[in-house]
Structure 1
C-alpha cells in the first residue's frame, strides 16, 4: 500500500500588527531582533467551512536572528481570541530569505513585492476549546508577507 498523498488547504489568514523593531545586536550567530505584536485579526473558512474569526491579542512578539547571509530565522509567539471566546496560543517558526537588497529595504521599512521574498512558516496552535481542537490535531504550513506595519500569514492545513 502507498502512503497517503500530501495536500494542503487554505484555512485562515492572520494579520498581525507589529511595532518598532528592537535589536539586541550581534550575538555571535547573527543579529537578534525582537518585533512586538500589537494586535490584528484572524479570518478564514476554517477546516470544515464553519469559519474562524477573531482578534490577535496585543501581546507577544516575533523573535528573529538575521544570519550573516541575510537569512532570517523567526519564531513568533502570540495568541488570538476567536469571536466565540476561544483563546488560541500560537508558535510560528519559519524563515525569510531573498535578494540582499530587497531584504535590506524591508529592514528599513520600505515596501517590497512579497512575491520576491521567500517567507514560509509552520505554525503550531494550542487551545482547550473543543470547537478548535482541530488546530492541535493537524500540521500547518503558511506563506507570509512582511509589510511596514503588519505581517500577513496565510495558513494552510496539511491533509
Structure 2
C-alpha cells in the first residue's frame, strides 16, 4: 500500500499590493520588492485582515520564472496577530509572465503559482497554524495576490 498525501482547504488570503520597486539585475536575475498594503483573510477557522506592512521579495530569473519570499502579518477578527512567511515560485510561458510583470491581466489558470506558507503566533487559539505544514495555490492580479491555503494532513 502506497502512502497517501491529503490536504484540506483552510482559508484564502487576499493581499493587496503596491507598486514594484526594482533593485536591478543582481547576477542571478532582477531583484524586485513589492509592498503588501492590506487585504483580508477568509475561511472557516479564521477571518481577519492583512496588515498594511510587509513585502514580497522576488528574483525574476532569466527564464522569467520568479522565486518569491513574502513576509507580512495578518490580524484575526478576534485580535490575534499572526506572522506569515510565504515562499514559492511562479512560472509560465515567458510572454504571459512578462505581461504579469507589467501589471497586465493574465488568466491565472495559465500560470503555475505555488507557495509554502509558514505561520507564527502567540495566540493559543491559532497555535494549530504552527503545528502543520501548509501549501497554497495563488493567482496574481494587477493590485492583489489571492492565496488559497491548504493544510497538509
Structure 2 partner of 1:81: 75
Partner of 1:41: 40
Correspondence list, 1:49-64, <5 A: 51-64=45-58
- 1:85 aligned counterpart, secondary structure: coil
Matches within 5 A, 1:63-142: 63-142=57-136
Q: After superposition, give the CA deviation of every residue in 1:3-23 in whole Å (9 maximum; x if it has no partner).
A: 853100100000000000000
* Offset, 1:71: 1.0
Instruction: Give the distance between the partners of 2:131 and 2:57, measured in 1 at CA.
Output: 25
| Normalised TM-score (structure 1) | 0.94
Q: What stretches of structure 2 of length at least 5 have no aligned partner?
A: none
Task: Indicate how the Cα distance of structure 1 residues 3 and 132 shifts in structure 2: closer, same or farther if over 3 A, else same.
Answer: farther
Aligned length: 153
Q: CA RMSD in A?
A: 1.0
**CA deviation digits over 1:62-83, x for unaligned, max 9?**
0000011111000000000000
How far, CA to CA, are the matches of 2:84 and 2:26 in structure 1?
26
After TM superposition, give the deviation of residue 60 of structure 1 in Å: 0.1
Structure 1: gaps spanning 5 or more residues: 46-50
TM-score, normalised relative to structure 2: 0.98
Query: Can you list the C-alpha shifts for 1:5-64, whole angstroms capped at 9, x where unaligned?
Result: 31001000000000000000000111000000000000111xxxxx21001000000000
